[in-house]
Amino acid sequence: MKIGLYGLHRGENVDPDTLARRAQLAEEMGFESIWVGDHIAMPPSSDEQGRLEAVVALAHLAALTTTIKLGFGVLVLPQRQPVLLAKQLTSLDLLSRGRLIVGVGAGYVEEELAAMGVSLDSRGARTDEYLAAMQALWDDQPFAGNFVTFADVVQRPRPQRRPPIVVGGHSRAAMRRAIQSADGWYGVYLTPEEAARALSDLQDASKLYDRPAGLGQLEITITPPPGPVDRDSAQRYAALGVHRLTIQPLDADMEATVRAGAGLVGA
């Protein structure tokens, strides 16, 4: 079982010294990865806490650490311009020496999507198209879609390798997207019982959609509900076939939970 840390982009962690201390502590404690989420503008009713922009946050974390992997959990893909994002991801993967994991999702906050010029109804189609467009750029291919089209352009440097793509979401569309286009699937705030149901749905979806031959086994990442996770719980997730837990400590208990989480490494 791989153990990751989620949440260093928000709350108390927006303070630079706190962010650096906690990221370096996670690396020292043997965590496999650090994950940050993505919201750019939220409605006032959400009581939104402070939050760093995801690409900037992960680039900063890349400079603060040396070995721990760096994941987006997840980028709201339809509100990101894919030609620019492909360049940002390649740059981040290069500067982190190949430590990047690209989690993407379709999003769900209508006000946020609208502020970025994206309708709620188009977000699924945009997510599929933007994934394909970024792959085309990484392969030096032209692309023609409904939302983005390009030809006679390249990006340099090319990726060292295509960063692993992880699709987040519990909908049938998200599971189809993971099976057809991604290296992994990501479920957020799931108890072991909820994870079992989600993985059963994912297995059902795998019977409906073909997985490309070039993609290997789908890697399963779960963020449990916020708070500490004990070894017994970690083993319950592992028994379901979960490959990685990304735990989200409560702010007040962040460093104590990170130290305790070191005991889950290898669970």
Tell whether the model's pLDDT for residue 251 goes beyond 80: no
- Amino acid residing at 5: L
Cβ neighbours of 163 (radius 10 Å)? 23
Check residue 47 and give its pLDDT. Answer: 67
Check residue 266 and give its pLDDT. Answer: 61
pLDDT tens for residues 67-103? 999 999 999 999 999 999 999 999 999 999 999 999 9
> What average pLDDT does the segment 235-264 reach?
89
> What average pLDDT does the segment 224-243 reach?
94
How buried is 216 (Cβ within 10 angstroms: 0-12 exposed, 13-18 middle, 19+ buried)?
exposed
- Cis peptide bond N-terminal to 229, omega within 30: no
pLDDT tens for residues 195-213? 999 999 999 999 999 999 8
Of residues 238, 249, 248, 246, the one with CA closest to residue 199: 238
Check residue 55 and give its pLDDT. Answer: 98
Token pair for 181: 């286009």
Where does the pLDDT of residue 228 fall: very low under 50, low under 70, confident under 90, or very high at 90 and above? confident
Helix (H) or strand (E) holding 147: none
CA distance 222 to 243: 8
Cβ–Cβ under 8 Å, residues 244 and 195: no
